[in-house]
A and B are shown apart, each in its own frame.
Chain A
Amino acid sequence: MTNAALLLLADSRFPTGAHAHSNGVEAAHARGDLLSLADLSDFIDGRLATVGTTEAAFAAAACMPGAVWVDLDRELAARTPSPRLRAVSRTLGRQLLRAAERAWPSLPARELRSLHREGPMQSVALGATAAAAGLTPADAALCSLHHLVGAVTTSAVRLLGLDPFDVQAIAANRTPVLERLAAEAVARALGPADALPANNSLLADILAEHHATWEVRLFAS
């Protein structure tokens, strides 16, 4: 347990390139599904219940001693139907490794890069990084959920001009939920890789494919 390392890895200033991604906010906003603070609150709950629980479980599993990363990587890719989102996840996984191997040199970055020619899925890279940083699977899951909420809230503030204090209040309100989901993710992560959660949102996957074809967009996904 090292709280300082967890804070470092959870900090949006840790340079992984994630700032260029809205986690579906831009596409949902353009469709008219995300226009207000109330919509944002619902959107966060939707993301947490779907891709949030899935990715948190994979991050926790990848952080466990003896984790078989190649299996986890394949299983998570299979749970990500959108080719665009798989590519985004591998890009962010690759970029996380760059920062993480410098910060925590014990990280087996070469092995993780070899999982796939485009790099490991982001949650697998995150779990492995958390382990190298001396963190627990629960920390890895919490970090995954925190990054999700952070990406959604930050991009919503930028795209919608929402009151940043209200937005952070929503995020603060969800912290007990994040703690609970992280604990559940760890429990699920103890099982075999093919039995890990497969919650996702088909609409978000479809919108991500559309978003990638827009001529003008602020975020990469």
Chain B
Amino acid sequence: MWAFGVPGTRPLRIGIGGPVGSGKTALVAALCRLLATEFSTVVVTNDIFTTEDAEALRRMAVLPDDRIVPVETGACPHTAIRDDISANLDAVEQLEALHAPVDLTIIESGGDNLTAIFSRALVDKQIFVIDVAGGDKVPRKGGPGVTTADLLVINKTDLASLVRADLGVMDRDAKARRGELPICFTSLVEPAGAVEVAAWVRAQIARWRADGR
């Protein structure tokens, strides 16, 4: 239906992945609050056991209920975003058709491990979310999410002193793994926690519209 990669022909699809509890749903909620008035936005969530994330987003009322759809992924959240994207693609296309024209489609992966990565056939850009409380060694451990995601978000900076995590070490290791790719430190419990990430998303939408990549 949509011509892949042709500027302006379909919404920009952004995948948000990362380990369980790192703040993916909080980031989706914050991005919707910051961007949904500017851009027609829809969200597909992937939960492993429940429709908890979709319900949480609906409760927070960051978007009208019918713009948020949960996809059940069986026992394999990474399969549904990487090896077998059919259920997600099905949901994305239905949602984009129902609310056309859509500017931004966010696909939130079920919480997974460091090997998770989105297929380029499902998303155009991807954000990988890790958190400070998971330990400051995580960036050094690498994996495709940490290494190649278009944006790495390191969340829960407010907890750094409590878990004795060194943000400087995380920044240094993440840069070593990622080269020029951007990194964003966030504390999503703060009201303005996602402003920087939202600015990045805005820039991606502008670029997508201009040259389709």
Contacts and interface: CB of A to CB of B under 8 A. Distances in A.
B26 interface: no
Interface string B79-97: 1100111110110000000
A21 B50 CA distance: 14
A94 B75 CA distance: 21
Given A15-B84, A94-B90, A98-B86, A21 B49 contact: no
**Is chain A's interface secondary structure helix, strand, loop, or mixed overall?**
loop
A220 B49 contact: no
A95 B74 contact: no
Interface in A173-221: 215-220
Contact of A91 (B73, B80, B90): B90
Contacts of B90: 17, 91, 94-95, 98
A218 B86 contact: no
Contacts, number: 55
B206 interface: no
Q: Do most interface residues of chain B lie in helix, strand or loop, or is the interface mixed?
A: loop
Q: Which of B76, B80, B84 has the most CB of A within 10 A?
A: B84
B72 interface: yes
Interface size class of A (residues with CB under 8 A): 20 to 34
B45 to A, nearest CB: 14
A13 B82 CA distance: 12
B78 to A, nearest CB: 11
Contacts of B48: 218
Interface residues of B, number: 17
Contacts of B89: 98
A99 interface: yes
Contact of A19 (B49, B50, B79): B79
A20 interface: yes
B86 A219 contact: no
A83 to B, nearest CB: 17
Given A99-B86, A218-B49, 12 more contacts: A13-B84, A15-B85, A19-B74, A19-B84, A20-B74, A95-B86, A95-B90, A155-B75, A158-B75, A217-B72, A218-B74, A219-B74
5 contacts: A13-B83, A20-B74, A98-B86, A219-B72, A219-B74
Interface of B: 48-50, 72-76, 79-80, 83-87, 89-90
Interface of A: 13, 15-17, 19-22, 91, 94-95, 98-99, 155, 158, 215-220
The 8 closest A-B pairs by CB, nearest first: A20-B74, A220-B72, A15-B84, A95-B86, A17-B86, A17-B87, A158-B75, A216-B49
